[in-house]
Every structure is written in structure tokens, then in C-alpha cells.
Copies of this chain bind each other. A is one copy, B any other.
Amino acid sequence: MTEDQHPDDPLRLDRQICFPLYAASNLINRLYRPVLSKLGLTYPQYLVMLALWEQAPRTVGALGEALYLDSGTLTPLLKRMEQAGLLTRKRDPEDERRVQVDLTSEGRALKAEAQRVPETLTAGFEGDPADVEDLRDSVQALVATLSRHTRGPAD
């Protein structure tokens, strides 16, 4: 009972830009999982570590801006990472509304263990590394556009 499928039907799955991005994100999560689980991290937790290795301490809000996530996602995630001993969460004495997230020495030390994660995972990508960089830059540009349209998490 196959529906007739016109080649220019705007609802064709293979004409969507959203679907390959969705699928790629899921596949990447699946690919990273076994590698990151050895470090005791999930994929979004890994992103938080990348952000903090670049700059720490940071407020929950600043982390959310960097990763395009809101406190509804970050708060429980950061609590789990705090439990794991990777970071600390402290109210900012300057402004008690803010929470400063900082790395523990254990969290800083984990960076050494993570050094080989990117190459491990891009090793099998096959294809010109320059093409991958072009793709990355294109998706980054798309993210910049999209983020302008959604004015941050939860509007």
C-alpha cells in the first residue's frame, strides 16, 4: 500500500535538512558512547568538560550559552558530574543567583585521558580531513543562524 511519491514532494524524508542532522547527532552519540564510558562520561558531559577545559570557572548560564542548553538540562547533569567528583558547584558570593561551576583536580586531570578521543573517533571517517572541516564550518554557520531564530533555550 505504498503511497505515490512525487520527486518534488516537500515532505520526502530525503529532502529534509533536519533529518540528516538529527540522524548524525544520534549516530555520533552512539559512536562516542563506548569510548567516553571508559572516561566515565556521557556525550553531553564530555561537552561540558570541553567547555570547562577551555575556561573555568563558569556560571551555569555561561555553560548553557556555550552549549545551547538551558538549566533544565544542565542542572541535573552538573549534579551528576559533581557526584562523580569532576566539578564543584558553588553559589557566587557576588551574586547569590549565580552558580559557579569549577573543575576539581580530578576533572582537570581527565583532560590528559581525553586527548586521544577526537582522533580515535575521526579515524574511521574516511575522506579528506579538509572536507570534514568544511562540513564542520557549514554546520557551525547553520547553528549560528538557528540560534538567532530561537533566542536561546526556552526562548
Please state if B135 and A139 are interface contacts (CB–CB under 8 Å). Answer: yes
Count contacts on A: residues with CB < 8 A to the other chain: 70
Please state if B21 and A139 are interface contacts (CB–CB under 8 Å). Answer: yes
Residues on B with C-beta less than 8 A from A31 are 146, 149-150
Contact with B along A1-22 (1 / 0, CB 8 A): 1110100001111111111111
- Could you tell me which A residues sit within 8 Å of B by CB distance? 1-3, 5, 10-32, 43-44, 47, 50-51, 53-57, 66-69, 102, 111, 114-115, 117-119, 121-122, 124-127, 131-132, 134-136, 138-140, 142-143, 145-147, 149-150, 153
Known contacts A17-B139, A134-B138; can you find 5 more A-B pairs with CB under 8 A?
A11-B117, A18-B28, A21-B139, A24-B146, A135-B138
